[in-house]
């Protein structure tokens, strides 16, 4: 049976989603729990492979078990075996052909900045004292909507044959000292959101001009002027099918 789950996790103490030998990963914790429950090795597929320190409020996964357990048994059983920083929120049986990664139509991320320092927010925000012009952030985010080649904003070794992504939403909101970037796309390149955020902040802080940002966007390779923001501010918040 094929099970689809919506999960959340605090990525602070993980080396990302993808299994790595001798490292603590979310996929590793899930597959360890499933092995205890099903008494067999089980492969878990996720909609997106989040990096070390990145969080998820609604990651989507699927896995197949050679069992006829109903979804409630799987939901309760795996949650009882998972560590406290990982949780299944929903679980249901789906068609055998469903694949959490390849069937996804869009993914939504949120990146949060706290303009100051905070002991309570440091694991879930980029805490910085940089001066930030919100109007510039908004203008830059508007320019990202649509279909663009984002190769200059991804980890160079992870560039694909096609680096074009279609952004249907790209905007900033501000509440007090909190700045939040909201972005939805059909796909994301490795490190893309954090590179966009860091570089937008450089412009909003006066370290780069808007013209330079546009030039960086058109470059065929990554530039050292592109800043990658810290991972803890990033969270996967929704996947659409």
Among 168, 172, 187, 185, which Cα is nearest to 233's?
Answer: 172
pTM to 2 decimal places = 0.94
| The domains spanning 2-94 and 106-240 adopt the same CATH topology | yes
- Listed by start position, the domains of the chain span 2-94, 106-240
φ and ψ of 64, to 5 deg: -115, 135
Q: Tell me the CATH number for domain 2-94.
A: 3.30.70.580
Q: What is the dihedral of CA 206, 209, 214, 217, to 10 degrees?
A: -50
Q: What is the pLDDT of residue 221?
A: 81
Q: What is the pLDDT of residue 158?
A: 61
Q: What is the pLDDT of residue 222?
A: 86
Per the rule left: phi > 0, alpha: psi between -120 and 50, beta: everything else, 216 is: alpha
Residue entry with tokens 């939040």: 180
- Alpha helices (H) in the chain, listed in sequence order: 26-38, 71-79, 134-144, 192-204, 210-218
Q: What is the pLDDT of residue 219?
A: 82
In the CATH hierarchy, which fold is given to the domain comprising 106-240? Answer: Alpha-Beta Plaits (3.30.70)
Q: Which residues are catalytic?
A: 51
pLDDT tens, per residue, the chain with 241 residues: 999 999 999 999 999 999 999 999 999 999 999 999 999 999 999 999 999 999 999 999 999 999 999 999 999 999 999 999 999 999 999 999 999 999 999 999 999 999 999 999 999 999 999 999 999 999 999 999 999 999 999 986 666 678 999 999 999 999 999 999 999 999 999 999 999 999 999 999 999 999 999 999 888 788 889 999 999 999 999 999 9
54 CB neighbour count, 10 Å cutoff: 26
* Structure-block tokens of residue 28: 């590793």
């Amino acid at each position: 049976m094929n099970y689809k789950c919506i999960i959340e996790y605090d990525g602070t103490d993980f080396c990302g989603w993808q299994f790595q030998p001798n490292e603590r990963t979310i996929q590793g914790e899930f597959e360890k729990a499933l092995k205890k429950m099903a008494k067999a090795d089980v492969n878990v597929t996720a909609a997106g492979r989040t990096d070390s320190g990145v969080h998820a409020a609604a990651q989507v996964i699927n896995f197949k078990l050679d069992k006829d357990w109903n979804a409630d048994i799987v939901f309760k059983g795996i949650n009882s075996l998972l560590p406290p920083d990982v949780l299944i929120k929903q679980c249901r049986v789906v068609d055998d052909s469903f694949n959490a990664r390849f069937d996804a139509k869009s993914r939504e991320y949120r990146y949060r900045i706290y303009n100051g320092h905070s002991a309570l927010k440091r694991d879930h925000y980029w805490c910085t004292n940089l001066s930030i012009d919100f109007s510039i952030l908004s203008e830059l985010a508007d320019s990202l909507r649509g279909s663009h080649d984002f190769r200059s904003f991804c980890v160079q070794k992870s560039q694909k044959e096609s680096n074009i992504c279609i952004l249907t939403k790209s905007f900033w909101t501000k509440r007090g000292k909190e700045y939040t970037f909201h972005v939805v796309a059909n796909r994301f390149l490795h490190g893309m959101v954090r590179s966009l955020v860091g570089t937008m902040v450089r412009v909003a802080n006066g370290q780069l001009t808007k013209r330079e940002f546009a030039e960086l966007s058109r470059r065929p390779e990554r530039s050292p002027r592109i800043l990658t923001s810290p991972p803890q501010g990033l969270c996967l918040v929704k996947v659409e099918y």
